[in-house]
Amino acid sequence: MDLKPCPFCGSEKLVFHKYSPRHASFSCFYYVACESCKSETSMRDSRELASESWNQRKIPNIQYAEVLVEWMKDSRFKEEYTALQTVFDRLVELIVEEERKSGT
């Protein structure tokens, strides 16, 4: 299964990691990690499941809001930023609340 580029940084430098528990009675786990930004999937039972998890990754809403706020800080938008700061702070609060409710 082909791995999609990293949803967080766009990198294609993705690596499979194999985690072997010290106890032989436990099976190995696999996960996919991005070399550039170090984001990774949770541990899965096989490479296929790890690939699947990776390809289903989405950027959490909160990160969109953070990117937007960073972008607004650009000096060209200083006036707009100051005016909208309150709105954005509230937006971030709402997203955090929403994500807490949905348990992500």
- Residues lying near Zn ion in the complex (CB under 5 A) are found at 6, 8-9, 11, 34, 36-37
Q: Cβ closer to Zn ion: 6 or 65?
A: 6
Least separation in angstroms between CB 61 and Zn ion = 18
Q: Cβ closer to Zn ion: 1 or 15?
A: 15
Q: Cβ closer to Zn ion: 34 or 65?
A: 34
Burial of 7 (0-12, 13-18, 19+ CB in 10 A): middle
Least separation in angstroms between CB 41 and Zn ion = 12
User: By C-alpha distance, which of 41, 96, 35 is closest to 65?
Assistant: 96
Least separation in angstroms between CB 70 and Zn ion = 17
Classify residue 37 by its DSSP letter. T
Q: Cβ closer to Zn ion: 6 or 50?
A: 6
Least separation in angstroms between CB 59 and Zn ion = 11
Burial 57-75 (b: 16+ CB within 10 A, else e): beeebeeebeeebeebeee
How many Cα neighbours within 13 Å face the side chain of 39? 16
